[in-house]
Amino acid sequence: MKSFLFILSSLLFLNDNNGYKIGDLATNFSLPNINGEMISLSDYDEAKGFIIIFTCNTCPYSIAYEDRINALDAKYKPKGYPVIAINPNDPAAKGGEQLVDMKKRAEDKDFSFPYLQDKGQNIYPKYGATRTPHVFILEKQNRGNVVQYIGAIDDSSRSPDKVQKYYVEDAIDALLSGRLPKVSTTKAIGCSIKTL
């Protein structure tokens, strides 16, 4: 019985970790931004791809990256890879994560990118996001939006001046020059996604 439970719990655990792998097609979504307007990947006719970042208002790691996310959007939106930030936390499970809080944060930090709420929390599990911040780079191909990178923004969450590896920039630069990213998955410490 015990071993059965153990196997069962490992299966459940594996199931928790299900999400996209490199090469998978990412689902489209339609989620509200801070002004309540619905935003969807299909709104972006001109884009070559997307930098999807699951992030939130309260996680210190997310906060540490806000300026760098603005900088990524400034650099790569003109090249066809806009940032789309999605807050995956259930506002009922964590204070400071409601749409009004998101609006305030976006205005205080001058977000140049859409900041969406994963209302109903249906999208982050499909992607397999487990923490904030968690990046998924999608490349638009004929068959759909292909996942080409999953992981961290760079190798120095805690101080921007100590970055040695610019994971997201390197991955997009590769895609823009017709190559696959050399490093396509990375890990970093982050905050768990809050659910009830």
For binding to another protein (CB under 8 A), which residues are involved? 2, 6, 13, 17, 59-60, 94, 130-131, 134, 151-152, 155-158, 162, 165, 186-194
CA distance 189 to 187: 7
- Whether the CA torsion 90, 108, 86, 159 is positive or negative: it is negative
Burial annotation 44-56 (CB, 10 A radius, 16+ → b, else e):
eeebbbbbbbbbb
Min separation Cβ 81 and another protein, Å:
22
Min separation Cβ 186 and another protein, Å:
5
Nearer to another protein, 11 or 38 (CB): 11
Nearer to another protein, 39 or 167 (CB): 167
Q: Strand 134-141 relative to strand 144-151: parallel, antiparallel, unpaired? A: antiparallel
Min separation Cβ 137 and another protein, Å:
16
Min separation Cβ 21 and another protein, Å:
13
CA distance 53 to 35: 19
